[in-house]
Structure 1
Amino acid sequence: MEQLTFAGAPGIIVLCVYALMMLGIGFWVSRRRPGVRDDMQNYYLAGRHLGILVLFFTLYATQYSGNNIVGYAPSAYRMGFEWWQSVMFMTVIIGGYLLFAPRLNRIARRERFITPTDWLRHRFASPAVSLLAALLMLWALGNFLLEQLIAMGHGISGLTGGTVPYQMAMLGFVAVMLAYSWLGGMRAVAFTDVMQGIALLLGVFVLVAGGLHLAGGDLGDTFGHVISAEPDKVATPSTEGSVSWLSILVLVGIGAAVYPHAIQRIYAAESESTLRRSLSRMAWMPLITTAVVFLVGIIAIQLYPGLSEGESEQLVGRIANDVAGINPFFYVMMILLFGGVVAAIVSTADSVLLAFSAIVSKDVIQQHVAPRASERTALLAGKVCGIVAVAALLLIAWNPPTLLVNIFVLKFELLIQIAPAFILGLYWSRMSAASVLWGMVVGSVIAGGMALSGVDTFHGVHAGVVGLVANVAVATVGSLLRPAPASGEPLPTDSPERRPSPER
């Protein structure tokens, strides 16, 4: 990130305020809910009592990170109007949720699910399916957490003008994240999501307003400049480019919807109605967030013509510097924006860490390592394992070797392979465990093999989508040839929910 002219003491003050607010939220939750750290349902799912407002913001924070702001504007600058696909795939994610989330919430409340793998264990009764899915989810979560740690270090270092070095920035805010997550679990994470979501929304709107002011104040003139000066950025995409566009809609739309920390929010909603209403509001957020960031990149084409790819990566810092120079109001708002970007990165990281710990606690320790361990012991072990995982990822992020980072790029490509088990498995009663297992294996091998060999796409279709097609084919054909027995099928019906047990 380009060094900011308003960096230094103001940035350090804002970051300290954000850190204190996060710690305060964790402390407040732990005092208000003293049993939150002893019970998995309370710690990992906020007792299944997330209301519309908090659920909306925590879903928003799950879908949008600080990386969306810093990374998407440069993409719009380089690609032009083709990058409108970012708005589309963020919208498609909501469609991905609606394919399975309301029904899964109803079943999860009745069956008391804690982790995403609980559904697979309940539906397919196959340790192999559950274990493979858990490993794929842990891999994706580890990848995502590594990304956030690196972004956290760069973001804080940039906001403070290098006063806080990259490595120290990571260590400091990781300590803050671990502290409030340990104290308050999902409730603390969800309430910090509300804080960073509001800061991010306000900051992004002020950024685009300031950028438009610098460009002359007329968005039509800006579009006209792009058409006349760089017509390739408004040209019709090639056939392969169009196929790639559709492919990424599938990859991100379905892959992001089955993120483990997204599924845990589905479980945590206080009712199916609350979840539906929150998702209906989320459907507007791509236009309010991603489209606004897209405009920042388009405006920058007029403001900063001819930037190289490396220079364009500093775009948000550059435009924020210029916007901050307009007047004191914009100066203050740009400081708050970059503080919000850092808070958003931390907020995404804490959600990932919480899901990682939950899978380790429930699906690894209780199912395979120590089946007789009490819930409190398994929860504590999962939290400790989460800290160990963060420590290991910090070592990688400290000075990441290129080869290892390239391997960790496998995120959506592998994660999307669990989607048939969640989506088709919810509606097709004859889908068999063996077919689901082999479908995941085949899809993962194809997607992973393509990505690691440098073949990211096949005629425009992304590796993860190629793997998903093979996955669905194997699972479907296998289930048609050897369907699950109707009498033993554990597929739930729409029977009324059992009354949840009282919260501790």
Structure 2
Amino acid sequence: MTGDLAFGGWSGVLIMAVYGLIMLAIGLITYFKNKNIRESNTEYYLGGRGLSVMVLFFTFYATQYSGNTIIGYAPQGYRIGFEWLQSITFMILVMVGYLLFAPRLYVLSRKFNFITPSDWLATRFRSKGITILGSILMLYGLGNYLLEQLVAVGQGVSGLTGGTVPYQLCVVFFIVIMLIYSWLGGMRSVAYTDTMQGIALLFGVFILVIGSIVYFGGLPSTADYMATFTPEKLGVPETDGIVGWFSMLVLVLIGASIYPHAIQRIFSAKNEKTLKNSLIGMAWMPFVTTGVILLVGIIGINAFPDLGEMESEKLVGMMANAIASENLFFYWAMILLFGGIIAAIISTADSVLLTFSSVISKDLYGRYINPKATEHKQIFVGKITGIIATGILLVIAWYPPATLYEIFVLKFELLVQIAPAFILGLYWKQLHSKSVFIGMVVGTIIATVMTFANITPFGIFSGLWGLLVNLIICVVGSLLFNISKSEKVEVDKVIGL
């Protein structure tokens, strides 16, 4: 093989076609095996609450580790160096966040037949304001996350093919595939494709890091290069960097653990033991996924020096393309990586789209706009609005407005504002509904203004400042104003386990 060998041509097209056909086949098989899938919210959005340990583990894994991890995290490691070790830490903290509420919320989801995360808010607080605002914040986070995946698809394929396959064409192709199988099979299709995609992702990541070490010299040569040319990426960050590090850990601990699509997977577990076993397996994934991707980003500093911010977004594709140029084995290994990365990105996008549709159809349309709508009609409305939302985001993704890391952070700034209602509501019976709503409103306004004005006092993310004020209002308001006797009775019915 010669040094100028690149991806593209029939090999790249073949892998794209094969993955697309497999996803479509899963959607068709699921549809024909479950004809009532169009008639029931439980079947369509939760897979009948029957996901096994392996399927639940891989749908958690493929959802948690996707475009923002593979395509976005390596460039961030390239840009800031070993400071990006925090990516391993915050992925561990996400699991800690789940354990704060997932087992208890699962029990309640079975007791009250929750379909969406907003069902919990509506059942716990019986407040129209909290339910609607919470749903809107979830939709913002989900829309932002879906945008992240669409950008990642384009950046990944564009880099991996050396520009042979246009960015926009890749995005459109995989969006169409995703919409078809999600429309046909709902959560079952999504979970089964996630299993395939999670396995492909694990394989691809390890082949990439092995090839990077073999052909780019690994960490020793990269560390020597960094010490000479970019010592700031090798040393301990300044005080502002450390504060930013810890604020990121807190932001992700809270924000990622209350991802609406992850919560919907909690509701989909076959039983509590299945949920706990899948989360135990997930506890190991930060080391074998995020840690490995960090190595790729660090090695890239030496392999492709002096890349600009947007140029570095294509780092993974550039490294895979260079490795493929070395010999026939790595050529085909990187072709498989190419398919695995795209499949993994789509696995997150389909999960996000499914939950986005469920919030629109069940929480807003079915609960407030047309309460008499059948579940079949709710599902249809969710499918249509999902397509419309994807089309709008596709227009934005056509020329991405920011790096994947910036998009990744932005979704948490507002999503974390639902945390007091979501987590405190599980344990504190005296939580005052009006205080929760006011706190959520004020926190959202503060986070929005500070985010768009780029105000980050002491290097702490604006979403955390909003959350701090939000939490103070919730706690102080609940201590000053007692809930009524009738509210106490209703709350005791919900969380008086």
* Partner of residue 499, structure 1: none
The one-letter code of the counterpart of 2:355 is A
Q: In structure 2, do the counterparts of structure 1 residues 221 and 118 end up closer, same or farther at CA, with 3 Å as the change threshold?
A: same
Decide whether the 8 Å contact of 2:85 with 2:294 is kept in 1. yes
The one-letter code of the counterpart of 2:468 is V
The 5 A counterparts of 1:98-177 are 98-177=99-178
Report the alpha carbon displacement of residue 411 of structure 1 after superposing the two structures with TM.
Answer: 1.5
* Partner of residue 339, structure 2: 339
* Partner of residue 422, structure 2: 422
Report the alpha carbon displacement of residue 166 of structure 1 after superposing the two structures with TM.
Answer: 3.2
* Partner of residue 476, structure 1: 475
SS of residue in 1 equivalent to 2:257: coil
Decide whether the 8 Å contact of 1:407 with 1:452 is kept in 2. no
SS of residue in 1 equivalent to 2:120: helix
CA distance in 1, matches of 2:343, 2:112: 34
CA distance in 1, matches of 2:386, 2:309: 36
Q: In structure 2, do the counterparts of structure 1 residues 11 and 123 end up closer, same or farther at CA, with 3 Å as the change threshold?
A: same
The one-letter code of the counterpart of 2:466 is G
Segment drifting more, 248-257 vs 325-334: 325-334
Decide whether the 8 Å contact of 1:143 with 1:409 is kept in 2. no
Report the alpha carbon displacement of residue 64 of structure 1 after superposing the two structures with TM.
Answer: 1.1
Q: In structure 2, do the counterparts of structure 1 residues 431 and 458 end up closer, same or farther at CA, with 3 Å as the change threshold?
A: same
* Partner of residue 87, structure 2: 86
Decide whether the 8 Å contact of 1:225 with 1:302 is kept in 2. yes
Q: Quick check: 1:14 aligned with 2:15?
A: yes
CA distance in 1, matches of 2:33, 2:256: 32
* Partner of residue 358, structure 1: 358
The one-letter code of the counterpart of 1:205 is F
Segment drifting more, 75-84 vs 407-416: 407-416
Decide whether the 8 Å contact of 1:258 with 1:419 is kept in 2. yes
Decide whether the 8 Å contact of 2:71 with 2:155 is kept in 1. no
Deviation digits for residues 113-168 of structure 1 (CA, Å, limit 9, x no counterpart) = 00100001110011110001001111111222222223323434444554543333
Report the alpha carbon displacement of residue 302 of structure 1 after superposing the two structures with TM.
Answer: 3.1
Q: In structure 2, do the counterparts of structure 1 residues 21 and 127 end up closer, same or farther at CA, with 3 Å as the change threshold?
A: same
Q: Quick check: 1:442 aligned with 2:434?
A: no
The 5 A counterparts of 1:81-480 are 81-216=82-217, 219-220=219-220, 222-223=222-223, 225-227=225-227, 230-399=230-399, 410-455=410-455, 457-480=456-479
Report the alpha carbon displacement of residue 301 of structure 1 after superposing the two structures with TM.
Answer: 2.6
| Identical aligned residues as a percent | 54
Report the alpha carbon displacement of residue 312 of structure 1 after superposing the two structures with TM.
Answer: 2.9
Q: In structure 2, do the counterparts of structure 1 residues 157 and 421 end up closer, same or farther at CA, with 3 Å as the change threshold?
A: same
The one-letter code of the counterpart of 1:166 is Y
**Number of matched residues?**
488
CA distance in 2, matches of 1:60, 1:423: 23
Deviation digits for residues 397-453 of structure 1 (CA, Å, limit 9, x no counterpart) = 335678xxx999741111010011111110001001111101111110111000011
Q: In structure 2, do the counterparts of structure 1 residues 48 and 494 end up closer, same or farther at CA, with 3 Å as the change threshold?
A: farther
Report the alpha carbon displacement of residue 254 of structure 1 after superposing the two structures with TM.
Answer: 1.1
CA distance in 1, matches of 2:77, 2:278: 28
CA distance in 1, matches of 2:397, 2:162: 20
Segment drifting more, 25-34 vs 308-317: 308-317
Decide whether the 8 Å contact of 2:158 with 2:317 is kept in 1. no
Decide whether the 8 Å contact of 1:413 with 1:464 is kept in 2. yes
CA RMSD of aligned residues (A): 2.2
CA distance in 2, matches of 1:241, 1:163: 38
* Partner of residue 50, structure 2: 49
CA distance in 1, matches of 2:472, 2:294: 36
Identify the structure with the greater helix proportion: 2
Q: In structure 2, do the counterparts of structure 1 residues 68 and 450 end up closer, same or farther at CA, with 3 Å as the change threshold?
A: same
SS of residue in 1 equivalent to 2:39: coil
CA distance in 1, matches of 2:215, 2:392: 44
Report the alpha carbon displacement of residue 493 of structure 1 after superposing the two structures with TM.
Answer: 4.2
CA distance in 1, matches of 2:330, 2:199: 17
Deviation digits for residues 42-82 of structure 1 (CA, Å, limit 9, x no counterpart) = 10001111111111111112211123112211221221111
CA distance in 1, matches of 2:408, 2:222: 38
Q: In structure 2, do the counterparts of structure 1 residues 377 and 95 end up closer, same or farther at CA, with 3 Å as the change threshold?
A: same
Q: Which runs of 5+ in 1 are unaligned?
A: 496-504
Segment drifting more, 307-316 vs 221-230: 221-230
CA distance in 1, matches of 2:310, 2:359: 38
The one-letter code of the counterpart of 1:442 is V
Decide whether the 8 Å contact of 1:4 with 1:159 is kept in 2. no
CA distance in 2, matches of 1:13, 1:211: 24
CA distance in 1, matches of 2:385, 2:131: 19
SS of residue in 1 equivalent to 2:29: helix
CA distance in 2, matches of 1:289, 1:411: 22
Decide whether the 8 Å contact of 1:410 with 1:448 is kept in 2. no
Q: In structure 2, do the counterparts of structure 1 residues 109 and 4 end up closer, same or farther at CA, with 3 Å as the change threshold?
A: farther
The 5 A counterparts of 1:32-71 are 32-71=33-72
CA distance in 1, matches of 2:177, 2:489: 48
Deviation digits for residues 445-481 of structure 1 (CA, Å, limit 9, x no counterpart) = 11100001122x2101100111111111110000011
Report the alpha carbon displacement of residue 345 of structure 1 after superposing the two structures with TM.
Answer: 1.7
Segment drifting more, 375-384 vs 479-488: 479-488
